[in-house]
Chains A and B, each alone.
Chain A
């Protein structure tokens, strides 16, 4: 039979009591079969400190999207990147270093254009993975497309990029951070 022992602390002077609630029901509290410290409702719990990033497209740099071509958006600047997981220089991709589930979001706006479709999409490991909303427009307002998805990353080789496609017959320019040109995300649950 395993045993339960309660030990006092010879250095302290306080009295610790275990009190029963006002109840008429018999209950058993099972201790976990592992070493550690029991938490209470007042305990400080370490929060998720996995990778988080926010990158954006510079409005001062022209990125043209040709008609009917899935084009990667080069997010050249970062608002923050806690674990240096976003490459804003060469490949413009997020490669998280912690395995788990990530919430990714992106918004891409382009200059005024008439187009039957304008679609942003998350690419995973170089392939189309999750499409965002399609924004067809026949007005003079610049279309905006966003994509958001919960994705899994293995923490080593998986990477994510943002591509867009537009039907327009002429090239269009991508907007900047304020006008809709950003890509961000963070770990929501580790593996």
Chain B
């Protein structure tokens, strides 16, 4: 499950446009370290914690 997938599961109200033209930037620097949250400036939704992201992945495997 990608980082984007996890975030959408946590916040289903987000659309793809939030990531392309909005206030959230997911980034991959092609250095082998994978995707990460480079910017989170959403006006109402707080940046998900690592625990939330891990929990989403765990629940999807059950």
Contacts and interface: CB of A to CB of B under 8 A. Distances in A.
Tell me whether A and B are bound partners.
yes
Interface of B: 2-4, 16-17, 19-21, 25-31, 35, 38
Contacts of A72: 27-31
Query: Which interface class (under 10, 10 to 19, 20 to 34, 35 or more) fits A?
Result: 20 to 34
Chain A interface secondary structure, helix, strand, loop or mixed?
loop
Nearest to B4: A68
Contact of A66 (B25, B28, B31): B28
Contacts of A69: 2-4, 19, 26-28, 35
Contacts of B2: 66-67, 69
B35 A66 contact: yes
Given A117-B16, A117-B20, A165-B20, A67 B30 contact: no
B6 to A, nearest CB: 12
A69 B4 CA distance: 7
Contacts of B3: 66, 69
B20 A128 contact: no
B57 to A, nearest CB: 15
Nearest to B5: A67
Contacts of B31: 72, 91
Nearest to B35: A69
A116 interface: yes
A68 B20 contact: yes
A67 B5 CA distance: 9
Contacts of B27: 69-72, 163
**Residue with the greatest number of chain B CB neighbours at <10 A, chosen from A68, A69, A165:** A68
A66 B29 CA distance: 12
Contacts of B16: 67-68, 116-117, 167
A153 interface: no
B10 to A, nearest CB: 14
Nearest to B28: A71
A59 B25 CA distance: 27
Contacts of B35: 66, 69
Interface in A138-191: 163, 165, 167
A68 B30 contact: no
Query: Which 10 A-B residue pairs are closest in the complex by CB-CB distance?
Result: A68-B19, A69-B26, A71-B28, A72-B30, A167-B16, A74-B30, A70-B27, A68-B4, A72-B29, A69-B35
